[in-house]
Amino acid sequence: MHLEFPEWAKLGMMEIKSPKVDIVDRDDDILVKAEIPGFKKADIDVSLTDTAITIKGSTSEEKKEEKGDYFRSETMKESFTRTLALPAEVDGSKATSTFKDGMLEVVVPKHEHARSHKVEIS
C-alpha cells in the first residue's frame, strides 16, 4: 500500500538523512570520512568502541514570521545516528578528528595486535 501525502502535509515532515561514510583501512590506523552538510561541529557527536564507530547529529532551526495579524512559526529538526563496524580493533582513546565544510574525518590508531605484519616467505 502506497500513501501519497498532499504538498501541504509534507511541509511538517522531518526528512531523515544518513551521511555517506567511507572507511579506509590503512597500515597503522583507520580513517573514517563522513559527509555531513548542514550541520555544525557542535551538532555532531562521535563515539568509539574497540570495533565500531557511532556518529550522531542533531540540529534544529526555527523560523518565525509576523505581519500584522498574521503569525507563522515553524520548527525544523533533523537528526541521524549511524553505527558502523570497523575492519580492525582500534584504540579509541587516541582518536583524532576534524570537521570542515561539512566533512568529518576521524583517524583511529589500530591496536598493535591488529596491525598488519609482513611475513617473510622461506
Which set of grid coordinates corresponds to residue 20? 555517506
Half-sphere exposure of residue 3: CA atoms within 13 angstroms, side-chain side: 4
pLDDT digits (tens, 9 = 90+) for 62-115: 888 888 887 787 888 889 999 999 999 999 999 999 999 999 999 999 998 877
Grade residue 5 by pLDDT with cuts at 50, 70 and 90: low
In angstroms, rounded to a whole number, what is the distance separating the alpha carbons of residues 17 and 57?
10
What secondary structure does DSSP assign to 18-66, as a single string?
A: --EEEEEE-SSEEEEEEE-TT--GGGEEEEE-SSEEEEEEEEEEEEEEE
Nearest Cα residue to 116 out of 36, 30, 39: 30
Which set of grid coordinates corresponds to residue 90? 582500534
Scanning the structure block, which residue is given the C-alpha cell 568502541? Answer: 49
Biggest CA pair distance of the chain: 87
Topology annotation, domain 17-112: Immunoglobulin-like (2.60.40)
Q: Hey, where are the domains in the chain?
A: 17-112
- Residue 120 is given by DSSP the state -
Q: Is the pTM of this model over 0.75?
A: no
Mean residue pLDDT of the chain comes to 86
- List phi, psi (to 5°) of 109: -70, 145
